[in-house]
């Protein structure tokens, strides 16, 4: 934009980034889910940057970051680190994410059921499809309940 970057630029950018509020459908959805599920964030960021975002969501999360795992999504090492941190396996999880190459593809490859939050109406990979696709989080609690019931009907515990 033609503005010279001074030493203040990075900190100013990070301050602005931390101040971005969640989408309006997020807080209510997460509050509902937190009363029924253990929630975790697997983030392609460092611990300090995600901390303000998590505080702003108002519900408890386990937080797994690229900084902790020394790997960025879609690298399976970040997911393996998350499994170890959470004390679970791929079959124990339901992954919800907005990034197709960073969330849906590795979750598919690892056999994790997955819900794609496709706010932009993008086209995914039909060879590595999501389990479900939603335009936003407004229907996520019902979608999760449906998937949990289906999983249990197949004789699996979630």
Q: What is the pLDDT of residues 72-98, one digit of tens each?
A: 999 999 999 999 999 999 988 999 999
Confidence tier at 11 by pLDDT (50, 70, 90) = confident
List the domain boundaries for the chain: 24-153
Confidence tier at 1 by pLDDT (50, 70, 90) = low
Nearest to 56 by CA among 23, 33, 102: 23
From the number of C-beta atoms within 10 Å of its C-beta (0-12, 13-18, 19+), residue 66 rates as buried
Q: Say yes or no to pLDDT of 135 above 90.
A: yes
Tokens of 108: 């598919």
What is the reported pTM?
0.88
Look up the CATH number of domain 24-153. Answer: 3.40.50.1000
Distance CA 98, CA 107 (A): 12
**pLDDT winner (highest mean) among 3-7, 16-20, 143-147:** 143-147
Q: What percent of the chain has pLDDT over 90?
A: 73
Confidence tier at 2 by pLDDT (50, 70, 90) = low
Confidence tier at 6 by pLDDT (50, 70, 90) = confident
pLDDT score at 157: 67
Distance CA 66, CA 57 (A): 20
């Amino acid at each position: 934009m033609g503005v010279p970057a001074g030493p203040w630029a990075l900190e100013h950018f990070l301050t602005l980034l931390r101040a971005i509020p969640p989408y309006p459908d997020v807080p209510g959805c997460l509050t509902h889910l937190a009363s029924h599920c253990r929630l975790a964030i697997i983030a392609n960021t460092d611990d300090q940057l995600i901390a303000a975002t998590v505080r702003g969501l108002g519900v408890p999360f386990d937080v797994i970051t690229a900084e902790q795992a020394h790997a960025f999504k879609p690298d399976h090492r970040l997911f393996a680190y998350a499994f170890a941190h959470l004390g679970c396996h791929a079959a124990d999880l339901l992954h919800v994410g907005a990034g197709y190459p960073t969330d849906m593809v590795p979750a598919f490859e690892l056999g994790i059921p997955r819900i794609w939050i496709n706010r932009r109406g993008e086209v995914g990979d039909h060879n590595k499809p999501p389990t479900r696709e939603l335009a936003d989080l407004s229907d996520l609690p019902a979608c999760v309940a449906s998937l949990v019931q289906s999983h249990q009907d197949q004789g699996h515990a979630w």
